[in-house]
Amino acid sequence: MASTIVEIVGVITDSEIIAVGRKIREIARLRKYHGGTKWRKLKGVARVRLSHGEVVRAEVHWYEAHGIGKREIKLKRLLSEH
C-alpha cells in the first residue's frame, strides 16, 4: 500500500482481539522495546488521514498492553464508505 497513516481521525470502532500473549508472533520484540507482559493484538475500523491528506475508512491493527496503551498501529486495508 503506497500511502501510510498520518493520524487516526475520531475513534476506533468494532475492535476485537485477534491474538493474546504467546499467540502473538512479535511478543518477544514487543516486550523488549515497550515492556509489559500482557500484550494483545487487536483490529478495528477507523477513519484515517493518509500521507497525501485524504481521509478514508480503513481496517487497522495494533498491539496493546495494560499500562502501556496502543502501539504500532498499522493500516491493513481500505474499506468502502458505504
Query: Please, are residues 14 and 44 in contact by the beta-carbon 8 Å criterion?
Result: yes
Q: Which one, of 77, 12, 82, lies nearest residue 50 by Cα?
A: 77
What ranges make up the beta strands (E) of 1-82?
5-20, 39-50, 55-65, 69-78
CA distances from 82 to 3, 50, 64, 79 (A): 21, 19, 29, 9
How is residue 77 written as a grid cell?
486495508
Please compute the mean of the pLDDT values over residues 50-67 and round it to a whole number: 93
pLDDT digits (tens, 9 = 90+) for 3-24: 566 789 999 999 999 999 999 9
Q: Where are the domains of the chain?
A: 5-78
pLDDT at 1 over 50: no
In the prediction, which pLDDT does 35 show? 92
Q: What is the pLDDT of residue 36?
A: 86
